[in-house]
Structure 1
């Protein structure tokens, strides 16, 4: 029987997934065949809903399997890291943002192909291009860098350099972040997992893996004698400017489209 987990989400067992997917496929195929027999072309509402049901069932099963795999894991796993030039770089891993970046970057690329229609090109660049930049920042700007003297946390807009000897531990938040505990100072937050999904998404696997990578990096790079006790914080002007310009371009293009000045 279908049941809910501790977060209130439906548990997609394999039998439930097969039943829902099978029924949806049968209904969708039957609707499509009936639609063609009656002389109609193109998709119909029942077929589309059946496709949505299959997607929900399959993706739900993937989420359930992921949650079950990590259910009993409480400690960060041992993660592989690579030391290059005496340091380890741990990039931000947000798969959802990278997928969306690829979609919008592909939308821009279509308008650059030979023979692409000129009508609506500026609108495509203004909308898809600005969104591609915003999701690129979310996908690639964040990282953690471990050197012999520092643990550097870079988010989209900020850079924080923490002396190695001040790092006292790592802690998950269950909300998509790992906090780096610092002696006698406020903890520094490292984003983990997809920031766009939110809600009741189980962030614990992403947090455990992020903590495991940081621990492995600290172990792989020998610490040098401390030279300072100051945690250095500063803004990242390049990424801030890129985000502001992309947001302005998106809003400007949207307003021009809605007012009819630029064709969509």
Structure 2
């Protein structure tokens, strides 16, 4: 299978996160990857469930694609999330995903996009819940050959999505576990602002389980979840981050993950060549 942009240069490490082309089903995204010469895909659990896990496994295998990640496990701070996360681990194992991305959850009771009701404001306690859940899930994942990838999210998501806001925090949580059980995600949207990011990337080394890229738009849209832009449309300088991740020893797929209303509204067959070209020009690897 070739891996070329419209300009003809190799992007063999390019991976398409399925939600970048959200209009596509799993089957359509797999087909799109094949047609555009993409060799790896990041999948989302709800879309895999809609397609059917067994059928998704077959589609990916027959297409010769790597599964760069499965999104997502996590939300460990509210209720009993262990059973759902065990299912997520089993799904990642079936798909032979390089990692299961863990978005760990916000303050207990805070639901993304919903008005505040009865909530806990105990941030330290929420982070302790994450640590306690990880102590249960990491060995389970290890037994099944699945790597959990802790993803720190930009601090603006601390209340509702992730009480891990920096790469340093994620590494502190991962440190007690073997690197093949627990790694971290370096996502440019979430970490570009951190004055410690280059030191923490170097510290992460072989714990880097996934490198995800998109741009940080300015101004952000009203729904900040959709502030992830095509590389070159925002404020991030990608080359130093890619260099740091490479020098840390990461050789895996580089996944483009964009949540953006205009990108989602566009024809995925037009979006994909554009982001592959931007990847080649700005991200490299």
TM-score, length basis structure 1: 0.21
TM-score, length basis structure 2: 0.20
Q: Please say which structure displays the higher CA radius of gyration.
A: 1
